[in-house]
C-alpha cells in the first residue's frame, strides 16, 4: 500500500475466527478434491434455529411497503424502544425510560466499540476479564486506552476475585467489562454478583459495562445488572436478539443506561450510520413480544444439545460443568490428555487438542487460549449445531 496504516491497528490482529474460517475453507477445498466430508464447525455461536415466525412475517410485510425504505431515526422507532422497555420490565424487572434510556444498535458487538469511543481517551485504562470476549480487548486497543486484565478462575466459579481487584492499582481505570452468563465459561449471573459489581463501580468511579446477550440461554431466571438499586449511576448493559431469538445475522441489539450515558453513545453512533432499516425494527418488536413458552422451547433444545456436547468432552477426556449456562460448553484439558500430543510445540493444551481433532477428525472445536491466558488449558464447543451434527462429531472424534 502507498500509505502507512494507523498506529492503532498495530495493537490488534484480524479476529481469530476470521483467520480460522479461512483455514477451514482451504481445508474444505482439499477435502472436496479427495471426496472427503466437509469439516464440522463447532466453533462459532451462531444459532441455527429459526427466528419467531411473527418476526419474519413482520419483516416481509413491512419490506413490501414503499414508505419503509428511507433513512430512519438514529434513536430507533418509538415502537422498538417501547418493545425493549416492555421486555426489560417483563423479564428482568427493570424500569427504563423509552425516550432516553434505550439505544438500539446493530448488534451488541457494535456497542462495545461505540462505548469505547464514547468514553475512552488515549492513556485511560479498562478492566477486561480473562478469559473473556476478545472484542473487549480489541476495542480498547483501538482507542489507545490501556488494558488491565483481571482474572476469572474456575475455583471462584469464574467470578471476579474482588479482593484481588481491591488490591490492584485502579488509578486511571474508567470502564470494566463484565459478561454473565459468562462467555466462554458458562458461569451464571446472580444478583449477589451484580450487587458487588455495582458497589465496586460506585466506590471506584468505574463504569461497569455488562454484556448480557446470553441471559435466556439454558437459564430459567434471566437477570440484569440494572435491577440492582442505583445501578444506572455507574452501569450500562448491552443486550441482543442474536442468541435468545435466533437472529444473529439480523444484527439487532441495544444498550440501556442513564440518559446522560445514552446521549454520549448516541453522539458517536450518529456519526457512524443513518439508522436501522425500518422493517428490521418492526420485526424486532415482534420478536421481543414472545411469551415465556418461546424461551422454554428454546432451552429444551439447548439442554439436549448440552448433553451431546458433553459426550464429546467425555470422549476427549475434558472436564466440564453439566449445568452451565449460555450456548457453549467449556471443557478443561489435563496435562496427560491423549489429544495434547505436541509438548514442545509452544501451543497451549487447548490448541493442541483443537488442532489434533481438526486435522484428524475434521471437526473444529475452539481452543480456549483466544479468550486469554486463563483459557489456555480449555476448549469450547458451540451448542449451535443440531443433535445429528453433534452425534456425528462424537463418532468422528472417537475414531482418532
Same domain, 297 and 280: no
Residues contacting residue 371 through CB under 8 Å, at least 6 positions apart: 130, 131, 132, 133, 134, 184, 380
Give the per-residue pLDDT at 188: 96
Could you report the per-residue pLDDT of 342-388, keeping only the tens digit for each?
A: 776 789 999 999 999 999 999 999 999 999 999 999 999 999 999 99
Average pLDDT for residues 161-167, to the nearest whole number?
98
Give the per-residue pLDDT at 5: 86
212, pLDDT greater than 70 = yes
Q: How many domains does the chain have?
A: 2
Could you report the per-residue pLDDT of 254-284, keeping only the tens digit for each?
A: 999 999 999 999 999 999 999 999 999 999 9
- % of the chain residues with pLDDT over 90: 91
Q: Tell me if 60 is assigned to some domain.
A: no
Average pLDDT for residues 90-115, to the nearest whole number?
97
Same domain, 244 and 309: no
C-alpha–C-alpha distance, residues 63 and 78, integer Å: 18
Question: Is 149 in contact with 140 (CB distance < 8 Å)?
Answer: no
Average pLDDT for residues 55-76, to the nearest whole number?
96
Give the per-residue pLDDT at 344: 67
Q: Tell me if 59 is assigned to some domain.
A: no
Same domain, 189 and 275: yes
Share the mean pLDDT of the chain. Answer: 95
Q: Which domain holds residue 359?
A: 7-49+293-398
Average pLDDT for residues 216-228, to the nearest whole number?
97
Give the per-residue pLDDT at 281: 98
Could you report the per-residue pLDDT of 183-192, keeping only the tens digit for each?
A: 999 999 999 9
Contacts 24+ apart (CB under 8 A), 21-26: 24/358, 24/364
Higher-pLDDT residue of 13 and 193 is 193
Could you report the per-residue pLDDT of 67-82, keeping only the tens digit for each?
A: 999 999 999 999 999 9
Q: Tell me if 55 is assigned to some domain.
A: no
Could you report the per-residue pLDDT of 130-153, keeping only the tens digit for each?
A: 999 999 999 999 999 999 999 999
DSSP string of 138-206, one letter each residue: HHHHHHTPEEEEEEB-GGGTT-B-HHHHHHS--TTEEEEEEESS-TTT-PPP-HHHHHHHHHHHHHHT-
Q: Tell me if 62 is assigned to some domain.
A: no
E strand segments, the chain: 40-41, 102-105, 125-130, 146-151, 173-179, 207-211, 235-240, 253-256, 319-320, 328-332, 363-364, 366-367, 378-382
The reported pTM is 0.94
Sign of the C-alpha dihedral computed for residues 143, 148, 154 and 158 taken in this order = negative
Give the per-residue pLDDT at 6: 83
Give the per-residue pLDDT at 9: 80
45: CATH: 3.90.1150.10
C-alpha–C-alpha distance, residues 212 and 236, integer Å: 10
Domain boundary among 263, 290, 317: 290
Other CB atoms within 10 A of residue 279 CB: 18
Give the per-residue pLDDT at 13: 75
Same domain, 255 and 312: no
Cα→Cα distances 206→56, 175, 178, 218, 223, Å: 40, 5, 12, 30, 21
C-alpha–C-alpha distance, residues 171 and 312, integer Å: 45
Name the pairing type of β-strands 173-179 and 253-256. unpaired
Same domain, 138 and 259: yes
**Is residue 302 packed enough to be buried (19+ CB in 10 Å), middle (13-18) or exposed (0-12)?**
buried
Q: DSSP code of 239?
A: E
Amino acid at each position: 500500500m502507498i500509505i502507512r496504516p494507523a498506529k492503532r491497528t498495530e495493537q490488534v490482529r484480524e479476529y481469530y475466527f476470521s483467520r480460522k474460517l479461512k483455514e477451514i475453507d482451504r481445508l474444505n477445498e482439499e477435502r472436496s478434491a479427495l471426496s472427503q466430508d466437509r469439516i464440522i464447525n463447532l466453533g462459532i455461536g451462531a444459532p441455527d434455529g429459526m427466528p419467531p415466525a411473527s418476526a419474519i412475517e413482520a419483516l416481509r410485510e413491512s419490506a413490501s411497503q414503499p414508505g419503509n425504505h428511507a433513512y430512519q431515526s438514529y434513536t430507533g422507532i418509538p415502537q422498538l424502544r417501547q418493545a425493549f422497555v416492555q421486555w426489560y420490565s417483563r423479564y428482568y424487572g427493570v424500569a427504563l425510560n423509552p425516550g432516553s434510556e434505550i439505544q438500539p444498535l446493530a448488534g451488541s458487538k457494535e456497542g462495545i466499540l461505540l462505548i469505547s469511543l464514547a468514553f475512552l481517551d488515549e492513556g485511560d485504562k479498562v478492566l477486561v476479564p480473562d478469559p473473556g470476549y476478545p472484542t473487549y480487548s480489541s476495542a480498547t486497543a483501538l482507542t489507545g486506552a490501556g488494558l488491565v486484565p483481571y482474572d476469572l478462575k474456575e475455583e471462584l466459579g469464574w467470578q471476579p476475585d474482588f479482593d484481588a481487584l481491591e488490591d490492584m492499582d485502579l488509578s486511571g481505570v474508567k470502564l470494566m467489562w463484565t459478561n454473565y452468563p459468562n462467555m466462554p465459561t458458562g458461569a451464571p449471573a446472580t444478583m449477589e454478583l451484580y450487587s458487588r459489581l455495582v458497589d465496586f463501580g460506585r466506590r471506584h468511579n468505574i463504569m461497569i459495562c455488562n454484556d448480557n446477550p446470553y441471559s435466556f440461554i439454558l437459564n430459567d431466571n434471566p437477570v440484569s445488572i440494572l435491577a440492582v438499586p442505583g445501578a444506572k449511576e455507574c452501569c450500562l448493559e448491552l443486550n441482543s436478539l442474536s442468541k435468545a431469538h435466533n437472529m444473529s445475522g439480523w444484527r439487532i441489539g441495544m444498550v440501556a443506561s442513564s440518559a446522560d450515558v445514552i446521549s454520549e453513545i448516541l453522539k458517536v453512533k450518529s456519526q457512524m450510520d443513518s439508522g436501522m432499516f425500518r422493517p428490521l425494527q418492526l420485526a424486532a418488536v415482534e420478536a421481543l413480544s414472545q411469551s415465556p413458552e418461546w424461551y422454554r422451547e428454546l432451552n429444551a433444545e439447548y439442554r439436549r444439545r448440552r448433553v451431546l456436547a458433553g459426550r464429546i468432552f467425555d470422549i476427549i477426556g475434558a472436564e466440564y460443568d453439566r449445568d452451565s449456562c449460555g450456548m457453549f460448553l467449556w471443557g478443561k484439558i489435563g496435562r496427560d490428555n491423549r489429544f495434547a500430543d505436541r509438548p514442545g510445540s509452544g501451543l497451549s493444551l487447548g490448541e493442541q487438542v483443537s488442532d489434533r481433532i481438526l486435522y484428524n477428525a475434521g471437526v473444529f472445536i475452539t481452543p480456549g487460549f483466544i479468550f486469554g491466558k486463563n483459557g489456555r488449558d480449555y476448549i469450547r464447543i458451540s451448542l449451535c449445531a443440531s443433535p445429528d451434527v453433534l452425534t456425528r462429531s462424537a463418532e468422528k472424534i472417537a475414531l482418532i
